[in-house]
């Protein structure tokens, strides 16, 4: 089963932190930090956190783009400096 088929099977469901740890290679601590930004649902007020898959995926996409976009200007500046020294 490829990743797309796996995602289709998961649908837009609610994940616990433990399930998210199986879904992405991130630590429990990191996922709990991310969960705070996503306003998770707590079972029985103080129970386990539930995070909607679609919201988590959107967060990952947003932050992946932000990091990639912010890296580009730095890389461009570095290349300019390297080529300027070569002249």
Q: Six-digit token pair at 66?
A: 């932000």
Instruction: Please check whether residue 27 is in contact with residue 66, taking contact to mean a CB–CB distance below 8 angstroms.
Output: no
**Has this prediction a pTM greater than 0.75?**
no
Range of the domain at 60: 3-86
Contacts with 37 (C-beta within 8 Å, 6 or more apart), sequence order: 59
Give residue-wise pLDDT tens across range 19-74. Answer: 999 998 889 999 999 998 998 888 887 788 999 999 999 998 888 765 555 556 66
How many structural domains are present in the chain?
A: 1
């Amino acid at each position: 089963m490829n990743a797309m088929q796996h995602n289709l099977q998961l649908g837009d469901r609610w994940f616990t932190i433990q399930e998210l740890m199986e879904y992405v290679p991130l630590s429990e601590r990191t996922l709990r930090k991310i969960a705070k930004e996503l306003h998770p649902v707590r079972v029985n007020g103080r129970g386990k956190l539930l995070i909607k898959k679609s919201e988590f995926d959107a967060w990952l996409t947003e932050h992946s783009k932000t990091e990639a976009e912010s890296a580009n200007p730095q890389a461009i500046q570095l290349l300019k400096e390297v080529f300027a020294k070569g002249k």
